[in-house]
Amino acid sequence: MSGSSIGVLFKVTTWGESHGPATGAIVEGCPPGIDLIEEDVQKVLNKRKPGTIASSSPRKEEDVVKILSGTFQGKTTGTPISLIIQNTNVDSNAYEDIKDIFRPGHGDYTYFKKYGIRDYRGGGRASGRETAARVAAGAIAGKIISREGMEIIAYTKALGGIVIKLDRDGAKKISREDIAENSLMCPDKDAAREMEAKLEEARRSGDSLGGIVEIIVRRCPPGLGEPVFDKMDADLAKALMSIGTVKGVEIGAGFKVAEMTGSQANDPITPDGFLSNHAGGILAGITTGQEIVIRVACKPIASIAKVQQTINERGEPVEISIKGRHDVSVIPRIIPVCEVMVSIVLADHLLRQKAL
Amino acid sequence: MSGSSIGVLFKVTTWGESHGPATGAIVEGCPPGIDLIEEDVQKVLNKRKPGTIASSSPRKEEDVVKILSGTFQGKTTGTPISLIIQNTNVDSNAYEDIKDIFRPGHGDYTYFKKYGIRDYRGGGRASGRETAARVAAGAIAGKIISREGMEIIAYTKALGGIVIKLDRDGAKKISREDIAENSLMCPDKDAAREMEAKLEEARRSGDSLGGIVEIIVRRCPPGLGEPVFDKMDADLAKALMSIGTVKGVEIGAGFKVAEMTGSQANDPITPDGFLSNHAGGILAGITTGQEIVIRVACKPIASIAKVQQTINERGEPVEISIKGRHDVSVIPRIIPVCEVMVSIVLADHLLRQKAL
Amino acid sequence: MSGSSIGVLFKVTTWGESHGPATGAIVEGCPPGIDLIEEDVQKVLNKRKPGTIASSSPRKEEDVVKILSGTFQGKTTGTPISLIIQNTNVDSNAYEDIKDIFRPGHGDYTYFKKYGIRDYRGGGRASGRETAARVAAGAIAGKIISREGMEIIAYTKALGGIVIKLDRDGAKKISREDIAENSLMCPDKDAAREMEAKLEEARRSGDSLGGIVEIIVRRCPPGLGEPVFDKMDADLAKALMSIGTVKGVEIGAGFKVAEMTGSQANDPITPDGFLSNHAGGILAGITTGQEIVIRVACKPIASIAKVQQTINERGEPVEISIKGRHDVSVIPRIIPVCEVMVSIVLADHLLRQKAL
Amino acid sequence: MSGSSIGVLFKVTTWGESHGPATGAIVEGCPPGIDLIEEDVQKVLNKRKPGTIASSSPRKEEDVVKILSGTFQGKTTGTPISLIIQNTNVDSNAYEDIKDIFRPGHGDYTYFKKYGIRDYRGGGRASGRETAARVAAGAIAGKIISREGMEIIAYTKALGGIVIKLDRDGAKKISREDIAENSLMCPDKDAAREMEAKLEEARRSGDSLGGIVEIIVRRCPPGLGEPVFDKMDADLAKALMSIGTVKGVEIGAGFKVAEMTGSQANDPITPDGFLSNHAGGILAGITTGQEIVIRVACKPIASIAKVQQTINERGEPVEISIKGRHDVSVIPRIIPVCEVMVSIVLADHLLRQKAL
């Protein structure tokens, strides 16, 4: 059954395969009267574009978004917004050779087991390309939450084992400008340089690298999140874990809480606010008004040139070396994807709170 | 709006406050013709009962579950199953003194911000007591998935900084019996002894401890999970993060993937199966047929005797020392809760796959 | 899968079988801070009670509702409200004789075909008793919409072929008091007398009667209803058709529109409002601010003393004469059920509009 | 919030405005491995095309559907199917004159009240054009139910006050060929001739006509429909009432049940099946295996040349005479729309039953 929608009041449904004619999204529940033109969406979509940095593939994705419904004279009308991105620059021939082979680390095997049929070209629906539709839809969510004064900052926290040096207070001061300074969207310049070297090394050896993205939400009002299952952190965890590359999500102190005592972990409250933020801005599933702090672990890109052991659809052993135009790391291109997933969850919960 | 339901086809809705007359759950979508009597549910519910171990509170919760609908002559009928657990042994007087005080680390502050009104007695809806209803409902999910041959094993991976020693192969061999051997549900006896000592120390100092629970699903068929948002790992992350105490969720290698290369992280496939399981049994959001491996980080219990700084509803600073019958750690009582949340997600996805 | 819930933001889930221990409902999404005590619900529930009139059964249903969650100190808290009504005065022995026989006009046959198992006692889940839970839940919806100034009036429009005489203007002036004047909730006294005679005649011949209920919503604000599938009239039609007895639903001029021309059917608009209301208060699925006018056709009660032809579970022909305590018509007891179903839909759409 | 989706497991979401660049639908939950090419959808879509008959407008809608996702090599893959129909032959100039005027019988007034903004060109989202997307999506539902042997027949039952003469047995024998014989899709030739005359008369006088469509589902298996709110008849009522033109829905004997006694209305059961079908193939919300019989009342088309009284956005009285290319009756073009709405509900419930 259907699993291609997310959100209750602000709902995003994506569709499309990597090498089909197009990919797109329907945004339902966007309030009427919001300024929205294609350029607003295009700007965000461009952030996902492959750049010239070491981690990204030479493939040119010219993603041009069109708005097909839901706006009139530059404003949203309250009806569903249909977004479409044509798939251009697609070369499916590269996949003919491996059309019956399950690439390790990819969804080839599981899609085949689930559906008994699969579009093998470019990963089909399981391709990272699906995130283009998310980003387009999330750009609209971003407009809703920024209307309320919220801001989302996301950056490279770690890549290939290199971790940025930044105390919590440091994170508080990071600006979009700081992140934009280097192509890895990493606020620590020294770390960024080391990461670039690691990427180059991986590329040369036909391998790929994993990393960690940190996402900060600023000026989120308190009171968002719905007990008991649709907690803010639960919905964020789902939204982020639904990105193909993500294998772990943590909020605030995250896995470190396992080593803390209650007197360390509890954030004291004073008339001037909380004295710390181990909770990451969420208590009992509801936002506190502090910064929301989230980290996600991204696995290395599965498509590598190095020879790997696998099987084909007939169960026979084969060796595979994946050529073609692949990134060395999902970082930094995954960062805008993380941002929009958080935007979508926040926009949804904002509307849910309005209906209270 | 409503956030008290989880699941699409196998749907659980819980209700109830800690000090209200009762708590309970509705289970919708349970297939007809499954053997189900109250004792089946009671047995699972008993696992959540406070024990005699160092980590648990002296409060006696006599949780007795009643089935009010949805079964006939010992079998499910396909109609909603209503489960109720009376709240007994409740003493609300203890909360009169702190009724306008926001306990640090609790939902007091956020519920007040969200709703403008809150049942302050025992944490109201935000109480850990709400998990009793989850466990009762999850017991039914457990019957559905064990019918398909699946088994869930969950145990203490870490507590108060003590981590069990167990290689991945070790985890493969852990049996329910191994876990039951000690009161902490910890398969490493030596670590368990150290944990007990840590717990005793924390209790004496009026503090509490966090930990990590690992959950293993065995014999899960391949093909479960719905791209792209209702991925198996996304739904598991949400279900587990919706437990009040959880601040992080990871699948398979989890956060370790951030330091791995693609050639390390990808699990090679052979005619005899996968050679490793860094994916944790899930690829592209769909189960591979391998063991599903999940870890969750649990924060220390927020109610501690140590004096803490906070404010009251009028914004005035106050000090608080929380007396009363509180556990020192959510471990091991949270373990059956983790198990049932995983059961609910699996049961739901099993039914979703049947509808394909 | 689950079909026991209705509503998106204001959501009602009912559970319970006719002869099980209890029946009940969960109300999710009720805004916090609304005055609510058991008596508020009980008062509405009492309207559904069998009376002393000719149409009603001598069975005494002492329906006493309990609120188990979601309120604190007489106010709603925003969390799920659990309502329970114990099943008392239940005698299942009467059903032993017909436990493997499919009663004509009942759900016996279809439940058996669907689930392969059925609780034959008193119709199980398909019993009219299920509506008690709807009425209890709907009482809360009623509080929400009356807060906004709305009023729902429902009455007997026809019974056993006797139709009330009342021009549309007449309907505009009907008050709750007019309806309460006779036991059939019929605003036309002369018609009511004829209906009573018809009922008595049907009772004597061991038969039952159908009828029509008209429901008027006053002071509904314009703008409620969601294009294109969740139109106000679409959701009302579903809610009302979900009552077991209802075989037809019409809005405004209803089936009469089939014989009208556009110039007759269109309601002219003037600066002082609409000049007619053939639309029944809904245009393009959205309320106009006029009265919402709905009629539902109720079939005769299926349980009759007259001998009927049927089969048993083995497919053998049998004759059946249903003894026991049965009403002669669902009217007037179905009237409060119709009212609450409309209340639930309106409350849901009110909240949906708030989230816009 | 969002109301543009229908169905739980087989889910259709439509988008698009009458004079926007395109309109379309996403179909989620379609099982994998079903043969599906654009021509399959186009064939059904063509049935909705304006014809040469008296009731239809001279506007030429060249609706060409494209499948953008969800199929591979002529088969469905289990992923969302995106359907798009470009809006061609659109002339928005005609609407400039009435852009601030609320046309009587249209959604102009209510959309404005709801959203505060509206796309006035051609009715925007409230246009009958939206049904093109439904028909395209419903064509896929049709494939699913015909795989199970079901057949849907829909025809003109009444138009402009002329009712076809056909006993119930007659309806049993109507074939698609009988209906196709005349352009009104009316199985009674004599009635069809009278209807044509009525249509011509209405056209000449600048007016429009209402009618009744009857829909018959043959060979529907027993057991479909979900108690208690998602009953088959409840979901059919919603689906059909969601068509803009529909003001009433009845099942089986429909409103006639109001005049029947129980002994007349109950359908006797014999070893060879039911002896009558007043229930219209649905008992207690679940299909019996008999023919499902539904009738819907369609209002006259609201756009008429006759002068009507109305107001503009500033509340000033104006007169309006709607010129342009409008049909005289929604019949017969609404008939394929009714068919697909029934197909969608049946496909959804088929999948829901599979998940039981």
Amino acid A133: pLDDT: 98
Q: Which of the two residues, D120 and B166, has the higher pLDDT score?
A: D120
CA closest to B75 among chain C residues: C117
Strand partners, D53: none
Residue A179 to residue C291: CA distance in whole angstroms: 57
Nearest to D79 among B9, B227, B354 (CB): B227
B190 three-class SS = helix
Please indicate if any CB of chain D lies within 8 Å of the CB of C250: yes
Please indicate if any CB of chain B lies within 8 Å of the CB of A210: yes
Minimal C-alpha gap between D106 and chain C (Å): 6
Question: Considering chain A, what is the average pLDDT of its residues?
Answer: 94
Q: Which pLDDT band holds residue B58 (cuts at 50, 70, 90)?
A: low
Place of tokens 């009278």: D194
Give the least confident one: A182-186, B90-94, C183-187, C307-311: B90-94
B/D interface, count of CB pairs below 8 Å: 22
pLDDT exceeds 90 at position B57:
no
- E-strand spans in B106-186? 151-159, 162-163
The alpha-carbon radius of gyration of chain B (Å, integer) is 21
Amino acid B180: pLDDT: 84
Amino acid C110: pLDDT: 98
pLDDT exceeds 90 at position C62:
no
Amino acid A259: pLDDT: 98
Amino acid D58: pLDDT: 52
Q: According to DSSP H, which parts of A34-175 are helical?
A: 38-46, 108-115, 130-147, 168-173
Spatial neighbors of B87 by CB under 8 A, at least 6 apart, are: B16, B18, B19, B20, B21, B22, B23, B129
Please indicate if any CB of chain B lies within 8 Å of the CB of C4: yes
Residue C110 to residue C117: CA distance in whole angstroms: 10
Share above pLDDT 70 across residues of chain D, in percent, rounded to a whole number: 95
Please indicate if any CB of chain B lies within 8 Å of the CB of C107: no
Q: Is D124's CB within 8 Å of A78's CB?
A: no
- E-strand spans in A288-345? 292-298, 308-311, 317-320
Q: Is D72's CB within 8 Å of A28's CB?
A: no
Q: What tens digit of pLDDT does each residue of D126-170 get? A: 999 999 999 999 999 999 999 999 999 999 999 999 999 976 566
Question: Which residues in chain B touch residue D147, judged by CB atoms under 8 angstroms apart?
Answer: none
Amino acid C180: pLDDT: 84
CB C153 within 8 A of CB C218: yes
Residue A195 to residue A184: CA distance in whole angstroms: 8
Please indicate if any CB of chain D lies within 8 Å of the CB of B264: no
Please indicate if any CB of chain C lies within 8 Å of the CB of B118: yes
Residue B72 to residue B28: CA distance in whole angstroms: 15
Please indicate if any CB of chain B lies within 8 Å of the CB of C78: yes
Residue C313 to residue C310: CA distance in whole angstroms: 10
Q: Is B104's CB within 8 Å of A268's CB?
A: yes
Q: What is the mean pLDDT of residues B233-248?
A: 98
C-contacting residues in A 12-31 (Cβ below 8 Å): 29, 31
Q: Which pLDDT band holds residue B170 (cuts at 50, 70, 90)?
A: low
Please indicate if any CB of chain B lies within 8 Å of the CB of C149: no
Question: Which residues in chain B touch residue D32, judged by CB atoms under 8 angstroms apart?
Answer: 356
Neighbours of A14 (CB within 10 A): 28
pLDDT exceeds 60 at position A168:
no
pLDDT exceeds 80 at position D244:
yes
Please indicate if any CB of chain B lies within 8 Å of the CB of C124: yes
Q: What is the mean pLDDT of residues B210-219?
A: 98
Question: Which residues in chain D touch residue A82, judged by CB atoms under 8 angstroms apart?
Answer: 15-16, 22, 24
Give the least confident one: A206-215, B89-98, C64-73: B89-98
Spatial neighbors of C239 by CB under 8 A, at least 6 apart, are: C6, C341, C342, C344, C345, D229, D234
pTM: 0.97
Q: What tens digit of pLDDT does each residue of A246-259 get? A: 999 999 999 999 99
Q: Is B248's CB within 8 Å of A244's CB?
A: no
Burial class (CB in 10 A: 0-12, 13-18, 19+), A306: middle
D278 three-class SS = coil
- Residues recorded for chain A: 356
Q: What is the mean pLDDT of residues A17-24?
A: 97
Cis preceding linkage at D228, omega within 30: yes
Minimal C-alpha gap between A77 and chain D (Å): 6
Closest by alpha carbon to D123, among D134, D111, D135?
D111
Strand partners, C214: C155, C295
Q: What tens digit of pLDDT does each residue of C267-290 get? A: 999 999 999 999 999 999 999 999
Amino acid A92: pLDDT: 83
Minimal C-alpha gap between C73 and chain D (Å): 32
Residue B330 to residue B184: CA distance in whole angstroms: 10
Amino acid A180: pLDDT: 84
Strand partners, D295: D214, D250
Q: What tens digit of pLDDT does each residue of B61-76 get? A: 589 999 999 999 999 9
Q: What tens digit of pLDDT does each residue of C227-281 get? A: 999 999 999 999 999 999 999 999 999 999 999 999 999 999 999 999 999 999 9
Q: What is the mean pLDDT of residues C151-160?
A: 97
Please indicate if any CB of chain A lies within 8 Å of the CB of C227: yes
pLDDT exceeds 90 at position D287:
yes
Q: DSSP label at B300?
A: P
Q: What tens digit of pLDDT does each residue of A289-306 get? A: 999 999 999 999 999 999
Amino acid B59: pLDDT: 53
B/C interface, count of CB pairs below 8 Å: 149
Distances (CA, A) of B173 to B169, B268, B273, B291, D42: 7, 22, 18, 12, 57
Neighbours of B165 (CB within 10 A): 10
Question: Which residues in chain B touch residue D355, judged by CB atoms under 8 angstroms apart?
Answer: 9, 29, 351-352, 354-355
Q: What tens digit of pLDDT does each residue of B14-53 get? A: 999 999 999 999 999 999 999 999 999 999 999 988 764 5
CA closest to B14 among chain C residues: C80
pLDDT exceeds 60 at position C58:
no
Q: Which of the two residues, B19 and A55, has the higher pLDDT score?
A: B19
pLDDT exceeds 90 at position D294:
yes
Amino acid A324: pLDDT: 73
Nearest to D79 among A9, A17, A82 (CB): A17
Q: Is C258's CB within 8 Å of D161's CB?
A: yes
Please indicate if any CB of chain C lies within 8 Å of the CB of B184: no
Amino acid D180: pLDDT: 84
Minimal C-alpha gap between A314 and chain B (Å): 9
Q: DSSP label at C292?
A: E
Closest by alpha carbon to A12, among B137, C9, D13, B16?
D13
Q: What tens digit of pLDDT does each residue of A262-272 get? A: 999 999 999 99
CA closest to C33 among chain A residues: A356
C-contacting residues in D 278-337 (Cβ below 8 Å): 278-280, 282-289, 297-304, 306, 308-311, 315-317
Amino acid B55: pLDDT: 59
pLDDT exceeds 80 at position C51:
no
The per-residue b/e assignment along D240-267, b for 16 or more CB within 10 angstroms, e otherwise, is bbbbbbbbbbbbbbbbbbbbbbbbbbbb
Q: Is C105's CB within 8 Å of D300's CB?
A: no
Q: What is the mean pLDDT of residues B196-213?
A: 97
Choose the mutation target among C5, C9, C26, C81 for the interface with A, i.e. most A CBs under 10 Å: C9
Q: Is D9's CB within 8 Å of A2's CB?
A: yes
pLDDT exceeds 60 at position D199:
yes
Nearest to A249 among B111, B125, B248 (CB): B248
Q: Which pLDDT band holds residue C216 (cuts at 50, 70, 90)?
A: very high
Q: Is D231's CB within 8 Å of C3's CB?
A: yes
Tokens of C52: 């002393």
Amino acid C61: pLDDT: 56
Q: What is the mean pLDDT of residues D276-281?
A: 98
Amino acid C60: pLDDT: 60
A/D interface, count of CB pairs below 8 Å: 148
Question: Which residues in chain B touch residue D8, judged by CB atoms under 8 angstroms apart?
Answer: 8
Nearest to B356 among D78, D227, D356 (CB): D78
Residue A290 to residue A269: CA distance in whole angstroms: 12
Its ipTM equals 0.97
Minimal C-alpha gap between C8 and chain A (Å): 9
**Chains linked to A by 3 or more Cβ pairs within 8 Å:** B, C, D
Amino acid C356: pLDDT: 87
CA closest to C34 among chain A residues: A356
